[in-house]
Amino acid sequence: MFKNRIYSLLIIGLIAISTSPVIAKLLPYVPATVIAFWRMAIASAALWFYTSFFSYSPISSKNSRLIYLAGASLAMHFIFWFGALKLTTIANTTVLGIVAPAFTLLIEKLIYGKEINTLSTISLMIIFIGCLIVQGSDLGNFSGVGLGNIMAILSAIFLGIVFLIGSRVRQSTGVLPYTKNLFTVSAMVLLFCSLLLDNSIFNYSIDNYFWLFMLGIVPTLIGHTIFSYSIKFVSPTIIASIPLGEPIIASILAFILFNEGISSNVFGGGVVIGIGLILLIKNNKN
């Protein structure tokens, strides 16, 4: 019964994060690092305010170091994610961005020595083939749409790292102090990156700040906090797989709002990736 409640929460989280690429498309003149910064800054500010009314056990030094790494990885995830949206379509970005489960498994193998059985290996190969299909004629192209597709895959790698670290930290750390510190570290890294790239974080329109605020509340404060809460109770591979439905929801919204179609290679590659992910999830479910 409890697991069913967790999965119900994850569905809500999925719907929340599916608004992210759509909102980001409404910010065409705001740089990717600035979008990411305000998303994290708004969400972390809200959590700092809320948690100021409660007391929590201190986070251990070991977990603090892990949160620093997770926060930096989350910042890189968003830089590549929003960067991809600037160069390619919502469908491309979301389809390639959902391959995080493959990377969580590979990282678990490389760092923690987790065994990868034959079915998991086949699943990873299917996912890789799907990614190549999505690239289509842009394969080997390191500019424009091709670069955007590559950035979407890189964003998935960093998100996989965040989920893996979160699954360990959350065993002994509450969801609110973990998420608050995760978002804060990420915001600080993103502020540094914005300044380094000479991207102003101010001087945008009221409409821009409204959508930045919505980005910080709906997909971040609601969506990612649900994931951070749930990762204590289900495997990081399962958590990383929940966004599997994001391309469907986001692509429908993109078609309605921006008249963005889905190319045949993205559709075909997305189906192949989906098959690979489903096999991978079923084989690694705990």
Task: Note whether residue 14 is domain-resident.
Answer: no
Q: What is the pLDDT of residues 33-51, one digit of tens each?
A: 999 999 999 999 999 999 8
Tell whether 142 is covered by a domain.
Answer: yes
Asked whether residue 85 is domain-assigned, the answer is yes
Q: Which of 96-100, 108-112, 224-228, 229-233 has the lowest mean pLDDT?
A: 108-112
3 is a domain residue: no
The structure's pTM equals: 0.85
Residue 23 within a domain: no
Q: What is the pLDDT of residue 140?
A: 60
Task: Please state the separation of Cα 154 from the chain's center in Å.
Answer: 11
Residue 203 CB: number of other CB atoms within 10 A? 6
Q: Report whether pLDDT(244) > 70.
A: no
| Torsion sign, CA atoms 134, 131, 14, 50 | negative
Query: Within a domain: residue 204?
Result: yes
pLDDT band at 253 (very low <50, low <70, confident <90, very high): confident
Tell me the C-alpha distance between 164 and 57, whole Å: 22
- How many domains, the chain? 1
User: What is the predicted pLDDT for the residue at 138?
Assistant: 61
CA distance 130 to 99: 10
Q: What is residue 26's predicted lDDT score, i.e. its pLDDT?
A: 94
Instruction: Specify if 11 maps to a domain.
Output: no
Residue 228: its pLDDT value, please? 84
**Residue 20, Cα to own-chain centre: how many angstroms?**
10
Q: Which domain holds residue 230?
A: 31-49+56-284
Sign of the dihedral defined by the CA atoms of residues 29, 33, 34, 37, in that order: positive
65: in domain:
yes
- The predicted-structure confidence for 174-203, as pLDDT tens digits, reads as follows 889 999 999 999 999 999 999 999 999 999
